[in-house]
Amino acid sequence: MTDTNPADRSTDTTTLSSRIDTIDDGLDATVELLDSAIDLCRRLDPAALQLIDPATGTVSDAATAATLAWITTELDDITTTVRAAHARMVAINARARLLRPRG
């Protein structure tokens, strides 16, 4: 069934706020997951792991440790970016909550 009288979306600040809240919550959860993954990487014992290169087979212990360090650094860099995005989203959310329909 087609809605022949759609609601006026030009003043729908409730939906906007709801979507911004969802994005804000998602960014917050993403930071928590990244922090957890970074912590796990830091706790992994490179001596108990091996890096396997499909082309050449097992690679050295040093390469395994370097790969873990690289993964940790990359995740840390992503976390910094997501934290900045989250901080911006908090500011956007605060401003969006000030919007109200005229009336």
Per-residue pLDDT of the chain (103 residues; tens, 9 = 90+): 444 445 667 888 888 999 999 999 999 999 999 999 999 999 999 999 988 888 788 788 888 999 999 999 999 999 999 999 999 999 999 999 898 888 7
Domain extent, residue 80, equals: 14-96
Work out how many domains the chain is built from and give that number. Answer: 1
Residue 78: inside a domain? yes
CA 26 to chain centre: 7
In a domain, 3, yes or no: no
Q: Is the pTM of this model over 0.85?
A: no
